[in-house]
Structure formats: C-alpha cells, structure tokens
Amino acid sequence: MRRFLLPVVVLFFFIMESTAADLILIPSFSEDMFYVPRFTLLLLIFISVYVRDGLAITYAIIFGLLHDIVYTEILGVYLFAYPFLTYLSGRALKILQNNAFVVLLVGMLAISILEFYVYGIQLIISLNPLNFYEFANRRLLPTLAVNSIAGLVIIYPLKSFLTGLKRQTED
C-alpha cells in the first residue's frame, strides 16, 4: 500500500496544477497577467533531494509525457524538460546544502529555466508570440511568485512525508 502512496501524491499535484490555475484568483494581478503553477516540477525536485534521484527521474519522464499529452499539442517538450531539470536540480542540491530555503531557491531556478525553455519553443513555433518584456512581466514574474508561495506552504509537510517514506523503504 505504501508503494502506491508516492505515485498518488505526484498525480494529485499534477491534477492540482490545472485546478489551481482556475481556482486561485490573485486580486493584485491584472487581467493580462497570468501564472502557470509548476507544482509537479517542485515535487519532483523534492523527491530527487529527499528520496532518490532515479525515482524522481522516472516520475519526471512519466509525468512529463503525461503533461505533453494532456496540456500541449507537441510531444516531447515537457518529456525532455522535466527529467533534465529534475536531474540538474538533484545534482546541484547534492553539492549545495539541501535545507528548505536552498531547495526552494533551486526549485525557482528550475521553474525559471522551464519557463524560458517553453518561451523559446513558443517563439520558434508560434506566429504571434509575446515579446520578452511581456513574457517577463505577464508570465514569468507571476509564475515565480505563485510557485514561491506554494513552495513555502508545501515544503515542510512534503519534506517530512518524503523523508519518512525514504526511511520506510530503507527498512
């Protein structure tokens, strides 16, 4: 039973990304600003740090493909980005301290890289893309703000859950 708990939690965070985009209304954001919740990527980074890299990369491949299938028209964008960013973040946090603040900071850096990557793909494919100023002010900054707040809220419960899960699997 405990073996299925982590996939259910990751699936819950995946579903919460689309739900949070519809449910969370931030009054200080204007109508032309929008944010993209990246809860799954944050969770994958937490799994990489607090459980195992290999497990996090496996989940990153699965949920990257699932993200491509459900949310985008192009397969491979998130299938490549999620495992790559999870791996890089996990490696960086093996070198750095893995206290909660540093993990959150690396998570925000990974989300920034993901947003720039997706923006670059949209520049190549789209006929009418946002210019860089619009992208930075209308999408990147609100996305980082929302994900930072969400990360602050979920990091300590997830850290205790994941370290407990790691201890149980090691026994």
Among residues 63, 62, 65, which one has the least CA distance to residue 76? Answer: 65
d(CA 20, CA 120) in angstroms, rounded, equals 25
Q: Residue 67 has which token pair?
A: 């993200």
Single out the residue of 76, 58, 146 nearest to residue 108, CA to CA. Answer: 146
Judge residue 52's burial from the number of C-beta atoms within 10 Å of its C-beta, 0-12 exposed, 13-18 middle, 19 or more buried. Answer: middle
Residue 41 CA neighbour count, 13 Å, CB half: 32
Which tens digits make up the pLDDT trace of 21-49? 777 766 655 667 888 899 999 999 999 99
The whole-number pLDDT of residue 106 equals 95
**Segment 96-110, tens digit of pLDDT:** 887 889 999 999 999
154-164, pLDDT tens digit by residue? 999 999 999 98
Side-chain half-sphere of 18: how many Cα atoms within 13 Å?
9
What residues does each domain of the chain span? 39-170
C-alpha distances in Å from residue 12, one per residue of 6, 7, 8, 18, 43: 10, 8, 6, 11, 11
Q: What's the whole-model pTM score?
A: 0.92
